[in-house]
Amino acid sequence: MTAPALEAICQRLKAQAGLRSKADIRSAARSFEHLPFPELGAAAALGDDAALLPAVGGQLLLACEGLHPELVEEDPWFAGWSGVLVNLSDIAAMGGRPMAVVNSLWCKDHHQAEQLLAGMRRASDCFQVPVVGGHSNLRSPYNALSVAVLGSSGPRVLSARAARPGQLCCLLINTSGEFYRHYPFWDAATKAEPKLLREHLELMAQLAAQGLVLAAKDISMGGLVGTGAMFAEAAGCRLSLELEAILPPAGVALEAWLSCFPSYGYLLAVEPPQLERLHKLLRNYPDLHCGTIGHFKPGDSELELRQGGHSYSLWSGREPLTGFGALTT
């Protein structure tokens, strides 16, 4: 092969889209720590085909969330922040501790990507859970983000299916903060001290380990009532919520509080004899409010809302909600 022929081949190979697209990873390389687990040495540095993580005992938990397209478009920094936060909350809801984050990013330009990555990096730093890999495409016809988190738990896992009739339903929530811009997101996190955020996240693992909570659900985009319906569906029993026991922050309407997505909020299934111990432990967390808002009762899957002596069935298992109901065996 002649030198000109070799040069021509090399020029064509350099022009391949598959090779040029690897430059999209540079944005992530600038955003995240290259050696998240120094104790593992060079093999744990980012850039290989998979991330090397420290060995852990116990069971593994895996969560994944896709961010709403409008949020990604309108507020990419908050979308990046939220992509990490919501996954960490899902791990905590099962009594776990998060270990590492990965993401998949599609963007039309570098500016959008930088904002999304900056939000993820901020959340990663605040909660001290490293981003260890992912996928980047900065030549996409649309903007999109999905994030996944790996975590671990001890022997006591807070599965929503563990709720039983006779247990109390408690609401554990951070009422500090405010609604974020025009979105139905109650933000008690972006302005909070990182150390406090980590303490709050760790709390769910402690509640599980001590047996104070037997089942839990992270309040998600469906709000408190949507999460309550999913809880009842998974447990296979009736969940009756007393609206008069649900106290919104000052100036917030009840309906908005019932339907918003809080940055820190969980529904807990608690045995009545454990309630006093639970409240005693939570005295160490003055920023958090925990109150009994309802009961799990015998019967088919149903979410019942009660107020002023009246009751209304908001959802029943006759029409599946997610389709992931109580196990029959």
Give residue-wise pLDDT tens across range 149-160.
999 999 999 999
Tokens representing residue 145 in the block = 């983000």
Instruction: Please check whether residues 64 and 135 belong to one and the same domain.
Output: yes
In this structure, are residues 269 and 172 in contact, taking their beta carbons and an 8 Å threshold? no
Mean pLDDT of the chain: 93
Instruction: Please check whether residues 176 and 300 belong to one and the same domain.
Output: yes
Cβ-based burial of 196 (10 A; exposed 0-12, middle 13-18, buried ≥19): middle
Greater pLDDT, 161 or 43 = 161
At 289 the pLDDT is 97
- Look at residue 51 and tell me if it is in a domain: no
Overall residue count recorded for the chain in this entry:
329
Condensed to tens digits (0 to 9), the pLDDT of residues 32-63 reads 788 888 898 888 887 777 888 889 888 999 99
Instruction: Please check whether residues 69 and 92 belong to one and the same domain.
Output: yes
Mean pLDDT of 171-196: 96
At 102 the pLDDT is 97
End-to-end CA separation in angstroms for the chain: 69
Distance CA 83, CA 71 (A): 11
At 83 the pLDDT is 97
- Look at residue 8 and tell me if it is in a domain: no
Angle at 84 between CA 190 and CA 101, to 5 degrees: 140
Count up the domains in the chain and report the number. Answer: 2
DSSP designation for 158: -
Instruction: Please check whether residues 122 and 147 belong to one and the same domain.
Output: yes
DSSP designation for 317: T
Q: Which residues pair with 268 in a beta bridge?
A: 170, 216
CATH, residue 301: 3.90.650.10
Sign of the CA dihedral with 189 first, then 195, 196, and 199 last: positive
- Look at residue 142 and tell me if it is in a domain: yes
Closest CA to 29 of 109, 93, 121: 121
Q: Is the pLDDT of residue 162 over 90?
A: yes
Kindly state the percentage of the chain with pLDDT values over 70: 98
Instruction: Please check whether residues 200 and 134 belong to one and the same domain.
Output: no
At 21 the pLDDT is 67
Could you list the residue range(s) of the whole structural domain that residue 72 is in?
A: 22-33+57-153
CATH, residue 99: 3.30.1330.10
Contacts of 202 (CB under 8 A, 6+ apart): 92, 97
Of 136, 153, 170, the domain-final residue: 153
At 92 the pLDDT is 98
Reported confidence tier of residue 15, pLDDT bands at 50, 70, 90? confident
- Look at residue 27 and tell me if it is in a domain: yes
Sign of the CA dihedral with 179 first, then 80, 157, and 325 last: positive
Instruction: Please check whether residues 83 and 29 belong to one and the same domain.
Output: yes
Distance CA 181, CA 259 (A): 16
Reported confidence tier of residue 287, pLDDT bands at 50, 70, 90? very high
- Look at residue 282 and tell me if it is in a domain: yes
Q: Is the pLDDT of residue 98 over 90?
A: yes
Reported confidence tier of residue 19, pLDDT bands at 50, 70, 90? low
- Look at residue 39 and tell me if it is in a domain: no
Instruction: Please check whether residues 143 and 248 belong to one and the same domain.
Output: no
Instruction: Please check whether residues 148 and 169 belong to one and the same domain.
Output: no
Sign of the CA dihedral with 176 first, then 181, 185, and 187 last: negative
Of 109, 127, 153, the domain-final residue: 153
